[in-house]
Amino acid sequence: MALHTRALCARKKKTPHKPTHTHTHKRTSIDYHLHCQSTVDGLCCIVVCDSAYPSNVVFRMSNQLLMDYRERYPVEVRRTATAPLPLPKLSHTLQQAVDVKNIDSFSRINDDLDQTQVVLLDTINAMLERGQKLGDLVQQSEDLSLQSKAFYTQAKKQNSWCCSVM
């Protein structure tokens, strides 16, 4: 893994005009991506993740980390450093990144929209069923109305001889 990341970083330094790059590494049981993002001043951020993790989220997160690092450590400080310079926000960002919805508001909104769509489809189906039941009730009401009219005319005929005798 370290070999791949170093090679990818070296390749990115040779092509500074392309700030982002994704390399897919496939093994028999493991399929993962190496997402690489670099800056013009030589910083390089590599994120290794599952191939299912959205690349736009990875690049947004790595861009934020690079900006924080550049802000915290200017070029002069980085060039004269004798030890690795820590980035305190890294562990917090990685903990948040476990669930895409914590990092990416678009994913959160998309999930909310999917849930809303399911609720709306259920509501529409329920309304259609109620509409069908209402249609059945209207039909039954019309049938009862016709039957009552037929009963009324039949009863009128039956009772017509009763009233004429008196």
For residue 99, pLDDT over 80 is answered with no
Q: CA distances (Å), 17 to each of 24, 26, 40, 57, in order?
A: 21, 27, 8, 21
Q: Per residue in 36-94, pLDDT tens?
A: 887 877 788 888 887 777 877 888 888 888 888 888 888 888 888 888 888 888 888 87
The answer to whether 35 and 20 have CB atoms below 8 angstroms apart is yes
Q: CA distances (Å), 119 to each of 101, 116, 126, 127, in order?
A: 20, 5, 10, 12
Q: What does pTM read for this prediction?
A: 0.53
For residue 166, pLDDT over 60 is answered with no
Token digits of residue 27: 């093994």
Q: Report whether CATH 3.40.50.11810 matches the domain 2-100.
A: no
